Amino acid sequence: MCTCITLKTKDCYFGRNLDLESTFGEKVIVTPKNYEFTLRHNEKMKTKYAMIGMGTVVDDYPLYADSGNEKGLCMAGLYFPGNAVYFEEKENVMNIASFELIPWCLGNFSSIAELREELNKINITNQTFHENMPVVDLHWMISDKKECIVLEQTKNGLQIYDNPYGILTNNPPFYYHDIHMNNYMNISAKFPTNTFSEDISLQPYGQGIGMMGLPGDVTPTSRFVRAAFYKFNSITDEDEESSISQFFHVLDSVSMIKGSVITKENHYDMTTYSSCMNASKGIYYFKTYYNNQINAVSLNEKNKSGDKLEIYELPQKQHIQYMN
C-alpha cells in the first residue's frame, strides 16, 4: 500500500507515502558517484551519478525504496502483489535483479529519454538479495523534469507506460488505473450548477459539492483518483516552502491512519513515512508517522563525491514547538 506523486511549480518534486504495518529500519541514504555495486548477473558497476533516498543498508549495499539522482531522475518501487512476475536469467538481455533496478537506473542514466531504450533490453530476475530476504513484488514509477513512466513486469513480460498523471499506487496494473480515471471526469473543484433537470430547482447546500463522488477509501484505485484530483487542482506559490508544504498536503490526502485498515494477518497498516524530493536541487524532505516535522537532507559536492555511503537516522519522536 503506497502512493507516489510528482508535482511541478518552479522546480520539480517527486515523492511518496510508504504504507506498511511497521517500519523496516529505513534511513535516508546518500550514495556517492563512482560507488561500486556488485550485480548478481553482470560485472561490477560504478555509478556515474550520486543519489539520495530512503531505504535500508545491508553489507554496504543501499536497498532503496525511493530515490533520486543528482541529475533529477527519480524512481520509487511500490507494492504490486500477485501481478509482478520476475523471471529466471535469460540470454542476450540485460538481467537485473529487482533490488538492483533503482541503483542501476539512477546510477547510470540522467533522464528518461536516455533510460527508455535500455529498459527495453532488460529482464527483471527473481534473484534474492539474501536467503532470509524474500523477493518483493513491485512495480516502479520513474520521473524526470520532462516526463513520467511506469515500469511493470507481469506474466506478459515487461511493460513501459507513459504516465501523464504522475501518480502511482498499487494493484491493478497501470492500464486499469488509466481507464478507471475516466469514471471521474465529472468531478470538479468548482461551485456546481444544476445539470440534473431544468424542471427541478436544485441548489448546492454547501461547499465542495462538485467533488461529490470522489472516492474516500484507501484502496489503490481510490487513492490514485484522489491523489490525481488534489494534485491537478492544487494551487500553490512557487517558492520552496510553499511547494513542499503543498506536496505533503497532497500526500496527506491519501495517507493511512493506524487502525483504519486491518490486514488479513490482523496488523494495522499506516503511512510509516512520506517523502518529497526537490529533483531540481537534490534536496530530500521527509516526515514519519510519529514525527510529522519536515526534515531535509541535501546532495552536496562533499557527499556526491565521497567514497562511502552517508546514512541518516529518521527522527521518530514527535517534535512540538511549545509557544509558552
SS3 288: strand
Report how far residue 229's alpha carbon sits from residue 231's, in angstroms, rounded to the nearest whole number.
6
Q: Report the DSSP pairing between strands 27-31 and 51-58.
A: antiparallel
Rounded to whole angstroms, the Cα distance separating 87 from 125 reads: 5
User: For residue 206, what are the CA distances in angstroms to 146, 196, 212?
Assistant: 39, 17, 11
Enclosing H/E stretch for 7: strand 2-8
Report which of 151, 176, 173 is spatially closest to residue 162, judged by C-alpha positions. 151
DSSP-assigned states of every residue in 211-232: GTT---S-SHHHHHHHHHHHHH
Half-sphere exposure of 94 (CA within 13 A, CB side): 15
CA angle 296, 45, 125 (to 5 degrees): 90
Evaluate whether 152 touches 139 at the Cβ level (below 8 Å): yes
Alpha-carbon span 67 to 51, nearest angstrom: 7
2 is catalytic: yes
Longest dimension (CA), the chain: 74
**Which residue among the candidates 2, 74, 148, 276 is catalytic per the annotation?**
2
d(CA 179, CA 2): 20
Count of CA atoms in the C-beta half-sphere (13 A) of 278 = 22
What amino acid occupies position 24?
Answer: F
Catalytically active residues are 2
